[in-house]
Amino acid sequence: MRRREFITVLGGAVAWPVAARAQQPASLIGFLVSGAPDSFAIFVDAFKQGMLDNGLVEGRDYVLDLRFADGDYNRFDSLAAEITGRKPAAIVVTTIRAAQAAQRATSTIPIVMTGLIDPVAQGLIASLARPGGNTTGLANLAQDIMPKLVEILRGPFPAIRDIAVLFNPNNPANRAIAPTLMAQANSLGVTVRLVEFKPGQLEATFAGLAQQPPEALIVMSDAALYDVREPISALALKHRLPTIAYVPEFTDAGALMSYGPPRRAMYHRSASYVKRILAGAKPADLPVEQPTQVKLSVNLHTAKAIGVSIPDTVLARADRVIE
């Protein structure tokens, strides 16, 4: 039942109910998305569910202004300018380049990260505990986890010596992590080939790899890459190339393995930052969170399709096995 306010009875006069308190207008939330609407839908849905679980109903309490870069990171500046022009209550960002564009567009509107790579090293925040400025949210630990993917691959493939690494050259964190990953691989006697991701050219990229096939493929953490997780996984299957990714949702798309924090969980969690900001909290006062879960997923259907066997020791470690 809607709450009503009543006029206090004065001097014995009869009190009549006044009009119900006016509903506050829904808050506008900007959302800078790296990819396309269809492929990114599961992450947007996870954010919306997080908002609902925090008591915020879409259409009543907030309205999303979704802007899709469709894999073209050069569009972020114009998209951020469009969003800030509408004076949103907050802007949610899905990748480092999106966060940088939002920061260039505004120093006052709160910016919420959905799980970005090493935001301190990238200059987005001052520190995890005291981010300062107008940006907070979630970091994703990719800089620490990505080099471990080489070790994870050695579980089912102990004799592996040649790995290709697919990375996005437009992602500054990918470039920063690559030397560490290569050093880790070299320490294990594994050679790494860096392969640049080029939007719209995945088939050509895999055809090039087929000229001198690596023994496995690592897909680095990047919003544009997991936006095309299905075509990457399909091409890896076509070329019978064992593939491991940082994002667990890759195994749902058909990759052989993944090891990292559940991406949907981070989008869900980022909603709690938006709620606190809408309640009056300042981003500078909200410490940046890092994942508390890192999960290993294995797709046995893919293993069978490409003719590889996953040892029981690896399956015993897996948090999720797709059969």
Q: Indicate the average pLDDT of the chain.
A: 90
Structure tokens belonging to residue 214: 């690596």
CA proximity to 296, closest of 149, 158, 161: 149
- 237 pLDDT above the threshold of 50: yes
Q: What residue spans in the chain does CATH classification 3.40.50.2300 cover?
A: 27-139+263-285, 144-260+295-322
Q: Quick one: DSSP state of residue 284?
A: G
Average pLDDT over residues 80-84: 98
Could you give the CA distance from residue 191 to residue 207 in angstroms, rounded to a whole number?
Answer: 20
Asked if residue 222 lies in contact with residue 168, where contact means CB atoms within 8 angstroms, the answer is yes
- 212 band by pLDDT with thresholds 50, 70 and 90: very high
- 224 pLDDT above the threshold of 70: yes
Beta bridge partners, 245, equal: 219, 258
Beta bridge partners, 320, equal: 297
- 171 band by pLDDT with thresholds 50, 70 and 90: confident
pLDDT of residue 10: 37
- 289 band by pLDDT with thresholds 50, 70 and 90: very high
Could you give the CA distance from residue 273 to residue 243 in angstroms, rounded to a whole number?
Answer: 34
Fold of 144-260+295-322: Rossmann fold (3.40.50)
Average pLDDT over residues 248-265: 93
Fold of 27-139+263-285: Rossmann fold (3.40.50)
- 63 band by pLDDT with thresholds 50, 70 and 90: very high
% of the chain residues with pLDDT over 70: 93
pLDDT of residue 11: 41
Average pLDDT over residues 140-160: 92
- 71 band by pLDDT with thresholds 50, 70 and 90: confident
pLDDT of residue 23: 60
- 5 pLDDT above the threshold of 70: no
- 34 band by pLDDT with thresholds 50, 70 and 90: confident
- 99 band by pLDDT with thresholds 50, 70 and 90: very high
